[in-house]
Amino acid sequence: MYIHNFNPVAFEILNFKIYWYSLSYLFGFVFSFFYAKILINKKLIIINFKDFEDFLFWAVISVILGGRIGYVLFYNLDLYINNPLEILEIWKGGMSFHGGLSGLIICIFAFSKIKKLNFLELSNLVSACAPFGIFLGRLANFVNGELVGRPTYSNWGVVFFENDVLRHPSQIYEAFFEGLIIFIILLFIILKKHHKSINLFAVFFVLYGSFRFFLEFFREPDSQLGFIIFNLSMGQLLSIPMIFIGFYFLKKNHVKN
């Protein structure tokens, strides 16, 4: 048993609070910058690094915008219809992974068209970098005491709130599987150069969608939504299309080769 007592504020500068969640985004993109540079310099991913540098700025914007819009549409539409100005108050929290992913896909497609880049190579590079950012983000969720797990009746668990029951540390489960495990699998594929015949983004879609669907059984559904249908959460419903899309592109690429 562990009693949660983390402070979501990492530090303060002149009364300005820096949150662990904000730092997770920052370090996720910093890691992506250097990791992508290594993959490109070793010619494991064939793309011009200068193009990736230019892309990274727009990727940050697309993830933030997509994540916020996704949260508004999928998770709290009634609240924001009645309070539209609160949509801009990102610092209060409220981001959707699937919304951020959608924004990123649109950004990759548009940037590839404008710069005349290979969409597959850019999407593979982004897919290789993304899991580490997810890993940091889920750890930040744990520090914040948000997206908590469902009650557990074993001695293994976390007390997130005063006088609350033991709960699964679902954020840690997600950090491990959605972040670290996917990162290792994609790195293995890259080092073995299997990504020449297997789309990394398709593998990412299948793995993330599958892990997220399963791990949501250990996580409390969003209080304002509850279960949507068949005792499935919004996160599970949004993950199902990811799995099918991933398998579609894996099969399409297999037939092509």
Give the domain ranges of the chain.
Answer: 2-256
Alpha-carbon dihedral sign for residues 52, 54, 57, 59? negative
DSSP symbol at 150: P
Instruction: Return the number of other C-beta atoms located less than 10 Å from residue 185's C-beta.
Output: 15
Q: Is 9 helix (H, G, I), strand (E, B) or coil?
A: strand
pLDDT beyond 90 at 22: no
The model's pTM is 0.90
Q: What confidence tier does 55 reach under pLDDT thresholds 50, 70, 90?
A: very high
Q: Residue 83, Cα to own-chain centre: how many angstroms?
A: 27
> Does residue 153 surpass a pLDDT of 80?
yes
In the numeric block, which tokens belong to residue 143?
A: 């520090």
Q: What confidence tens digit (pLDDT) does each residue in 135-148 have?
A: 999 999 999 998 99
pLDDT in tens, 94-147: 789 999 999 999 999 999 999 999 898 999 999 999 999 999 999 999 999 989
Alpha-carbon distance of 128 to 116, in angstroms, equals 21
pLDDT tens-digit readout, 156-185: 899 998 889 999 999 999 999 999 999 999
